[in-house]
A and B are shown apart, each in its own frame.
Chain A
Amino acid sequence: MIDSKNLNLYYGQYHALKNISLSMPAKSVTALIGPSGCGKSTFLRTLNRMNDLIPGVKIDGDVLIDGKDIYKDKMDIDLLRKKVGMVFQKANPFPKSIFENIAYGLRVNGVRDESFIKERVEKSLKQAALWGEVKDVLKKSALALSGGQQQRLCIARALAVEPQVLLMDEPASALDPISTSKIEELIHELKRDFTIAIVTHNMQQAARVSDYTAFFYLGELVELDETKTIFINPKKEQTQNYITGRFG
């Protein structure tokens, strides 16, 4: 599903990602772990070309999603981002109503049919396990929701445009334990339909939610394997040191 080959990324002179070759199978969860500044978030953001927004970024190598090289093949970036949704570290609902937050992605992609939008809003909120809590207050401002609800709203918002891939950049790092476990349950549900890549600083979280784990260190991919193997029997010493908390 997602295939990066010899991916290099530079912030000006700084070589932030070094020769990353990494595959993520469809309908699975891959956790990206590693200490701060190791490049895991940067890598995540190459998958929907979010790094394009940062001046001075240079990228070479290939990233194939669904067989298409997203940095070549005259990729339509807006279409790519529709296909590859993203959830950010800080919940960032727009200062609009709950309904309009979810409808936003549809509207900007040219959907005019209000009954279709209504249907999709409901479906997305159900997928994000938020429908029950908000179905009577859809017209209320999204900013009135709690932090955990806001983050699930952002997930619902991403799901509304029917992506195939969902990128999550530390989606629960600002949430309390209960909200966090709700997000984790949700990830478990969502992987039936979506390919998920999640950046996390929380090792237990990586172990709980992911099928595969990739360990990044100093801009390199040190090890990628099934999560079980990474946590029980890692092949590289660096990985072992990191997951046992000896550095990082």
Chain B
Amino acid sequence: MKTKNISEFIAFNIFRLLSLIIVLVLVAILSFIVVRGAKVINWEFLTAMPKEGMTQGGIFPAIVGTICLVGGSMLFAFPLGVLSGIYLNEYMRASWFKRFMKLMTNNLAGVPSIVFGLFGMSLFVNTLGFGDSILAGSLTLGLLSLPVIIRTTEEALKSIDNTYREGSYALGATKLQTIRRVVLPMAYPNIITGFILSVGRVSGETAPILFTVAAYFLPKLPSGIFDQVMALPYHLYVITTSGTDVEASRGMAYGTALVLIMMVLILNITATIVRKKLNKKLKVN
């Protein structure tokens, strides 16, 4: 064998080994949670209130709480993020201000989530007087996911060849018409990817909701956006570290983790299907 082929062989197998390790770690974590969590999951666990100091009963309010928070944050962050991404890529000309905006967006994406939590508490909870509420929590989570949505939107738009824009302008279309009818439909699949990533991240975040919405124990469903809620990640944290009986709620904790992972998984699958459908629609009808 030539040296060229040997190094090719070695490199390929190193890549393969590394990928394998990553997959194995992931499978190990998942199966650990599934094995331990599946035992406690039943209809009652999913639909009942927690009982006996959260060592018994279910996690229904935490599921509802997380759904509210994810929904609320996306309602706020998705349109705002997509519109900002459109503005950045389609309207802004290259300038120091644009570079500054991009730098800031990137920095924002790297800010630790606990900082967002503190910011949310001081702005939404205290200054604006929303109190600990779904509104304050959703806005805080929304802020956290904004940079990701802006960046993915921008990247999605950037990947679309300029000849399509020119083709549209050449027919007398305005910029807005071009963006709405040609550019955005082509970018949707990738924008949706950004959306999925954000949803996954938001549903698992604990720090931003700690001071803005999450309730330690609240065995009832919210009746409005100014109510507090329980949330899955925070509930998991509570019953593993500071519950009434940490040992007794161990099983509940794994169940909660499993539910959280399943929720994200279901969302991911749905979004992948949607993206595939959209992509197909773009190519061959």
The answer on a CB contact under 8 Å between A108 and B173 is yes
The answer on a CB contact under 8 Å between A141 and B285 is yes
The answer on a CB contact under 8 Å between A55 and B169 is no
Q: Which residues of A approach B to under 8 Å, CB–CB?
A: 48, 50, 53, 55, 78-79, 81-82, 85-86, 88, 90, 92-95, 97, 104-105, 107-109, 139-141, 143-144, 154, 157-158, 161
Cβ-Cβ contact count across A and B, 8 Å cutoff: 80
The answer on a CB contact under 8 Å between A140 and B284 is yes
Distance between Cα atoms of A86 and B284 in the complex (Å) = 25
Distance between Cα atoms of A161 and B173 in the complex (Å) = 11
A104: nearest chain-B partner, CB-CB: B171
B181 contact set on A, CB distance < 8 A: 94, 104, 107-108
B93 contact set on A, CB distance < 8 A: 55
Distance between Cα atoms of A90 and B168 in the complex (Å) = 14
- Residue with the highest number of chain B CB atoms closer than 10 Å, among A95, A97, A109: A95
A78 contact set on B, CB distance < 8 A: 172-174
B283 contact set on A, CB distance < 8 A: 95, 141, 143
Task: Say if the beta carbon of B129 comes within 8 Å of chain A.
Answer: no
The answer on a CB contact under 8 Å between A158 and B170 is yes
The answer on a CB contact under 8 Å between B285 and A50 is no
B285 contact set on A, CB distance < 8 A: 97, 139-141, 144
Known: A140-B284, A143-B282. 19 other contacts (CB 8 A): A78-B172, A81-B169, A81-B171, A81-B172, A90-B163, A92-B164, A92-B167, A93-B167, A94-B182, A95-B185, A95-B283, A105-B171, A105-B173, A107-B181, A108-B171, A139-B285, A143-B283, A143-B284, A157-B167
B174: nearest chain-A partner, CB-CB: A78
B173 contact set on A, CB distance < 8 A: 78, 104-105, 108
5 A-B pairs within 8 Å (CB atoms) are namely A50-B169, A104-B181, A108-B173, A108-B174, A141-B285
The answer on a CB contact under 8 Å between B284 and A157 is no
Partner of A55, one of B94, B174, B186: B94
The answer on a CB contact under 8 Å between A82 and B172 is yes
Distance between Cα atoms of A95 and B283 in the complex (Å) = 6
Distance between Cα atoms of A50 and B167 in the complex (Å) = 10
B8-24 interface code vs A (CB 8 A; 1 in, 0 out):
00000000000000000
Nearest 10 pairs of A and B residues by beta carbon: A82-B172, A105-B171, A108-B173, A86-B170, A95-B282, A92-B163, A92-B167, A78-B172, A81-B172, A141-B285
A140: nearest chain-B partner, CB-CB: B285
A139 contact set on B, CB distance < 8 A: 285
Distance between Cα atoms of A55 and B95 in the complex (Å) = 11
The answer on a CB contact under 8 Å between A104 and B168 is yes
Distance between Cα atoms of A139 and B281 in the complex (Å) = 12
B164 contact set on A, CB distance < 8 A: 92, 94
The answer on a CB contact under 8 Å between B172 and A92 is no
Distance between Cα atoms of A55 and B91 in the complex (Å) = 12
Task: Say if the beta carbon of B177 comes within 8 Å of chain A.
Answer: yes
A94 contact set on B, CB distance < 8 A: 164, 167-168, 181-182
CB distance from A83 to the nearest CB of B (A): 8
CB distance from A247 to the nearest CB of B (A): 30
A93 contact set on B, CB distance < 8 A: 167
Distance between Cα atoms of A36 and B282 in the complex (Å) = 34
Knowing A105-B172, A141-B283, the reply to whether A88 touches B166 (Cβ < 8 A) is yes
Knowing A140-B285, A143-B283, the reply to whether A109 touches B170 (Cβ < 8 A) is no
B279: nearest chain-A partner, CB-CB: A95
The answer on a CB contact under 8 Å between B168 and A79 is no
